[in-house]
């Protein structure tokens, strides 16, 4: 049995025996002890004399054929469970009749009283059970090999580590540092402060008085008058935002001068509103799923966060049911200044469901070298291939000129007994305040295997940046690994359509001519909302009628 295990075992018994006595139970226990418990997974219960008439029941009336078969099958299966002490065993049953007077069909095949051709059914059960056994043995071997060698031999491919290495990371900043004055900023503050003075742009304080109209008053205007009114209104809003930005930058430059002279940070007593804004800030909105309605739980958690440097939120499951919160984790984000000199940030996300537990931690600490340099040290933990991967990374950014930033970095990832090392170099060049060019290259290595990659990206912002947020980004990447290469290109654009609509477009394609195109539009006008809904319904119906045209089926 051990050297040549059988594929199928037939346990033969009579169907016309109504009782299972102790002798039958002792026989089953003896078979189990000699041949082993595993034989019952390959056993088919074969009941002979299946063409005999059904016996009488407890009431004295003749039982139906199906009832007799069910009663006898249940009795034998119950005896097997008692003999093996395994309630999960449930063997298949085959009915057999070899008597020469058994009823036959027109082709001469023996037919049981229930109309089944027992030879065909028995052969089908044998083949099916053999195939199930082969599939189970194959899956068991794969699972055992994965459990024994997976922790040491399996790891994500090197391009996965390469893409993580080449990502541009923002260095943590102190609370007093403005985004436009950081080492990573590609905007000239002096140019922003002097913007509009040489081209004759009006100042907000020099504009004549303007009285906003109500909706009823606007409705009485003609279309041409409404257009002129909204153009003037938007122009004044733009000038007001520029004025507020310039005032904020002037206050910041004055504060930097006082810090340099007095080596002390001035108090914010002159601007109590700024203190209130630092104490209370709106929590960021949750990302909407691709399909949502007014009952989506994303709208339930809009509130003010009293401590903006500490943010704790639940993590939603994107694959959950509709109208269900679907929480399966929690995330924590915290920022702090170590010794009032070294800003640090911490982000942790923990997910737990019935089958797996995952954790993702990103921590960074930066040190600023004047106004032209910054060094970052980071430690990451991530669940990868059913084990934890630990990453140590560091990089330094140098602002060579006002328009050029150079970055160099190293990383080490420890995954089980495997170490992945990487290095990268990045250069960022700004052309004016609108165009930014970024190029980076890097390599990662693991056990003598190396992958190389290069990214290039160009970003064009709208004319009134940073007040306006419209931009277009064109990027390309090239990855070389194991004598093969992969090239991809992507285009991202976000712009405004009219006063109440925004559109975001994303396009990516690779050298295998596969990719994705996504368009996201939002508006506050009811007519446009109805048009978007109709377009979505038409696209859904088209994909249902033409499955091959589904854009998600790549």
Of the candidates 482, 498, 527, which is a domain's last residue? 482
Residues 312 and 327 in one domain: yes
Of the candidates 482, 504, 532, which is a domain's last residue? 482
| Residue-level pLDDT at 152 | 44
Residues 164 and 22 in one domain: no
CATH code: domain of residue 46? 3.40.50.300
196 in any annotated domain: yes
Its sign, for the CA torsion 96, 100, 101, 107, is positive
Q: Where are the alpha helices (DSSP H) in 114-222?
A: 118-153, 158-165, 189-193, 215-219
DSSP 340: T
316 in any annotated domain: yes
Domain that holds residue 336: 159-176+270-482
State how far the alpha carbon of 524 is from the alpha carbons of 5, 123, 213, 498, in Å.
72, 68, 19, 11
| Residue-level pLDDT at 451 | 95
Count of all residues that appear for the chain in the document: 554
Q: How far apart are CA 488 and CA 166, in angstroms?
A: 15
Residues 224 and 306 in one domain: no
Residues 327 and 463 in one domain: yes
Residues 33 and 113 in one domain: yes
DSSP 298: G
HSE, CB side, 13 Å, CA atoms: give it for residue 301. 17
State how far the alpha carbon of 21 is from the alpha carbons of 26, 75, 77, in Å.
9, 10, 14
245 in any annotated domain: yes
535 in any annotated domain: no
541: which 2 tokens? 């119906």
Place of tokens 């960021």: 284
User: Crossing angle, helix 22-35 and helix 65-84, to 10 degrees?
Assistant: 50
DSSP bridge partners of 522: 502
97 in any annotated domain: yes
Residues 128 and 26 in one domain: yes
Return the closest-CA partner of residue 349 out of 384, 315, 317: 315
546 in any annotated domain: no
46 in any annotated domain: yes
Residues 317 and 438 in one domain: yes
Q: How far apart are CA 531 and CA 520, in angstroms?
A: 14
519: which 2 tokens? 């368009």
The answer to whether the beta carbons of residues 258 and 270 sit under 8 Å apart is no
508 in any annotated domain: no
Return the closest-CA partner of residue 69 out of 129, 10, 13: 13
Residues 208 and 347 in one domain: no
Total domain count, the chain: 3
Residues 357 and 419 in one domain: yes
Residues 94 and 241 in one domain: no
Return the closest-CA partner of residue 506 out of 490, 521, 488: 490
CATH code: domain of residue 337? 2.40.160
Residues 48 and 22 in one domain: yes
- Going residue by residue through the chain, which has 554 residues, state the pLDDT in tens, using 9 for 90 and above: 667 778 888 888 888 776 666 677 888 888 888 888 888 888 898 988 888 877 766 666 777 888 888 888 888 888 888 888 887 888 888 888 888 888 888 888 888 888 888 888 888 888 888 888 888 878 776 665 555 444 444 678 899 999 999 998 888 887 666 555 566 666 665 666 566 555 556 677 778 888 888 888 888 888 888 888 888 888 888 888 888 877 877 887 777 677 666 554 444 444 444 444 445 556 666 666 656 666 666 655 556 665 567 788 777 766 655 555 667 788 888 988 888 889 999 999 998 877 788 999 999 999 988 878 899 999 999 998 778 999 999 999 998 887 899 999 999 999 988 899 999 999 999 888 789 999 999 999 998 899 999 999 999 998 877 777 789 999 999 999 988 999 999 999 998 887 778 889 999 999 988 889 888 888 777 776 778 778 878 887 887 787 654 444 44
The answer to whether the beta carbons of residues 298 and 305 sit under 8 Å apart is no
422: which 2 tokens? 């990487």
Of the candidates 482, 506, 523, which is a domain's last residue? 482
DSSP 213: P
Q: How far apart are CA 11 and CA 30, in angstroms?
A: 13
C-alpha angle 230-233-237 in degrees, rounded to nearest 5:
135
Residues 223 and 278 in one domain: no
117: which 2 tokens? 């051709």
Phi-psi bin for 416: left (phi > 0), alpha (psi -120 to 50), beta?
left
């Amino acid at each position: 049995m051990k050297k040549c295990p059988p594929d199928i075992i037939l346990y033969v018994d009579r169907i016309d025996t109504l009782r299972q006595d102790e002798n039958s139970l002792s026989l089953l226990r003896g078979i189990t002890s000699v041949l082993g418990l595993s034989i019952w997974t390959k056993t088919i219960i074969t009941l002979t004399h299946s063409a005999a008439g059904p016996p009488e029941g407890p009431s004295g009336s003749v039982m139906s054929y199906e009832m007799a078969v069910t009663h006898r099958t249940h009795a034998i299966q119950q005896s097997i469970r008692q003999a093996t002490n395994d309630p999960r065993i449930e063997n298949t049953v085959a009915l057999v009749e070899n008597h020469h007077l058994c009823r036959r069909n027109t082709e001469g095949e023996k037919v049981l009283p229930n109309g089944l051709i027992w030879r065909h059914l028995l052969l089908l059960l044998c083949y099916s059970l053999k195939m199930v056994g082969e599939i189970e043995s194959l899956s068991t071997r794969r699972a055992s090999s994965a459990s024994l060698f997976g922790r040491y031999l399996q790891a994500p491919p090197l391009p996965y580590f390469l893409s993580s290495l080449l990502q541009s990371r923002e260095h943590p900043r102190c609370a007093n540092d403005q985004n436009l004055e950081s080492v990573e900023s590609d905007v000239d503050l002096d140019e922003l402060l002097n913007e509009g003075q040489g081209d004759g742009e009006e100042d907000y304080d020099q504009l004549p008085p303007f009285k906003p109209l109500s909706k009823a008053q606007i409705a009485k205007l003609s279309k041409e008058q409404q257009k002129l009114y909204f153009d003037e209104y938007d122009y004044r809003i733009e000038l007001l935002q520029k004025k507020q930005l310039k005032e904020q930058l002037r206050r910041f430059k004055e504060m930097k001068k006082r810090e340099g002279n007095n080596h002390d940070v001035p108090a914010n007593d002159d601007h109590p509103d700024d203190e209130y804004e630092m104490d209370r800030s709106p929590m960021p909105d949750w990302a909407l799923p691709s399909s949502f309605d007014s009952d989506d739980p994303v709208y339930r958690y809009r509130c003010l966060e009293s401590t903006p440097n500490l943010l704790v939120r639940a993590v939603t499951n994107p694959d959950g049911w509709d109208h269900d919160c679907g929480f399966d984790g929690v995330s924590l984000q915290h920022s702090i200044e170590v010794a009032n000199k070294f800003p640090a940030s911490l982000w942790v996300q923990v997910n737990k469901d019935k089958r797996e537990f995952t954790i993702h931690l990103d921590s960074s600490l930066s040190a600023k070298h004047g106004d032209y340099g910054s060094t970052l040290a980071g430690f990451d933990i991530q669940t990868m291939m059913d084990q934890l991967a630990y990453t140590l990374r560091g990089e330094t950014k140098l602002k060579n000129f006002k328009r050029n930033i150079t970055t160099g970095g190293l990383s080490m990832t420890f995954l089980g007994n495997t170490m992945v090392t990487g290095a990268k170099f990045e250069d960022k060049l700004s052309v004016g305040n609108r165009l930014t060019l970024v190029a980076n290259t890097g390599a990662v290595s693991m056990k003598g295997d190396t992958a190389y990659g290069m990214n290039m990206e160009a970003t064009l912002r709208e004319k009134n940046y940073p007040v306006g947020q419209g931009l277009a980004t064109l990027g390309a990447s090239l990855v070389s690994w194991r004598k093969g290469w992969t090239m991809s290109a992507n285009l991202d654009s976000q712009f405004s359509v009219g006063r109440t609509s925004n559109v975001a477009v994303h396009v990516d394609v690779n050298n295998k001519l596969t990719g994705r195109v996504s368009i996201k539009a939002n508006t506050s006008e009811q007519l446009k909302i109805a048009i978007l809904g109709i377009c979505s319904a038409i696209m859904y119906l088209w994909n249902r009628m033409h499955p091959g045209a589904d854009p998600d089926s790549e």
